[in-house]
Structure 1
């Protein structure tokens, strides 16, 4: 088979994708959006879907993107109890440049025992293989579109490109419908000095090391980090750093250790 033949795409396929994009761009209601995403999920051979913001997953926030059909136990654990910051799929979104298969998670992040337990729990609830599409926009928190609930990685892999296209345009539609007045740049939660402390936490520094690096008293560093955890609702240092990155307040490049 020649490369030209292998790369050829039928016009009907192109027309289908284009019609989906046009529909998502012009859609005018969240109910219609949900019905369309549900239909596309089924057409691709998946059972579940989720379009969610990775920050401010809070029922009191009317602007959050939260359109999903997930098994209730998983939805409660991830979003109700706000365990999403430790979820391996959510964490992988920080490092993946485009849509990825869940079976490729170990190629994107290092999976620990808790991650394997989480994935096994999801599999028991029907979340076996999936595709997640990260969504990022400068000045805004991260989000993602996920299609999950098929057993075959080979089957899912065939839809990686379509999922990427549908996921991005679906998430853009959700943001447009749910937060029409959302500003391009959200007001930062972290002031400069606390932000410096969080960055150094992300580089693996202890509070004493942070105090020496920033010429601050250890008590001041403790206070800054306690306040930052309260602002993000983070229970520990790991959740604090992940929350700050997901919220778009700290870039991944800032977490790399600088040469001595």
Structure 2
């Protein structure tokens, strides 16, 4: 299969698929192949040891996708920002100062729409979702003076965390394709997770632990396998595969398989081929009743 990201700049996604990492774009969609350059960008985000390093890594990935500006913001419930909220941005300093001084975050329609949608959206869609007031049009006009004109925003909703979003912006229009949206969503998800580790010291929190079967099923999803193929590989029924996947998603509090895979990769719970599965992920008593 040809790389899903072949339409993107080769400087980021590369022309060859990584040997094992494929992130499923949706429950029924074809697998998304993560090229080595994109994988490198994601690894850089995951290994960021400071907010500045995260900002630089996210900005570099965004630039290679054609977006010079980024804003990763944990904005919580309107009409105010969360206290000590996470803000990672390279927006021009003068615009940021004006944004804060004028309390634009109270009326920012980007935040409002990001709490209404569960998918990435182009700013051209905003007026179809909410009715814009004059002061909101004024906000976009001021942003435009700094080159923040056309944007794509990725809503980031993690249970137990405040609402957040990651925006990629540029001065000129850009063709918004499903593959572009998928790539930006993956980049935003990794950046947000890394930001939470830095901002809330998540490395000190308890990480949900997948059982052996749950980890195996998740790893095979990452390889692009179907439920039937996973069942054949593990020697269990297809319904049992779905049970383990559902339970793994419940442990993480996510609804999509792509979210499960991303979270498990970051938490080092995805088992690669050739890895000693029994030593890394112990078999749980919970697994035994569900074996085929």
Structure 2 length-normalised TM = 0.53
Structure 1 counterpart of 2:159: 138
Distance 1:57 1:6, change over 3 A: closer
Structure 2 counterpart of 1:108: 129
Q: Deviations over 1:121-146 (max 9, x none)?
A: 21122111011111111122111111
Gaps of 5+ in 2: 7-14, 18-33, 207-292
Structure 2 counterpart of 1:82: 103
Which of 17, 39, 45 in structure 2 is aligned with 1:24? 45
**Aligned residues: CA RMSD:** 2.9
Which of 5, 8, 14 in structure 1 is aligned with 2:35? 14
Structure 1 counterpart of 2:65: 44
Distance 1:133 1:100, change over 3 A: same
Is the aligned partner of 1:168 residue 2:173? no
Contact 1:101 1:157 in 2 (8 A): no
Structure 1 length-normalised TM = 0.59
CA distance in 1, matches of 2:200, 2:115: 23
Contact 1:93 1:134 in 2 (8 A): yes
How far has the Cα of 1:158 moved from its partner?
Answer: 6.1
Contact 1:88 1:115 in 2 (8 A): yes
How far has the Cα of 1:41 moved from its partner?
Answer: 2.0
**Number of residue pairs aligned between Structure 1 and Structure 2:** 178
Structure 2 counterpart of 1:98: 119
CA distance in 2, matches of 1:72, 1:7: 36
Gaps of 5+ in 1: 185-260
Greater helix fraction, Structure 1 or Structure 2: 1
CA distance in 2, matches of 1:81, 1:126: 19
Which one is further off, 102-111 or 174-183?
Answer: 174-183
CA distance in 1, matches of 2:95, 2:179: 26
Contact 2:104 2:139 in 1 (8 A): no
Structure 2 counterpart of 1:149: 170
Which of 183, 195, 199 in structure 2 is aligned with 1:178? 199
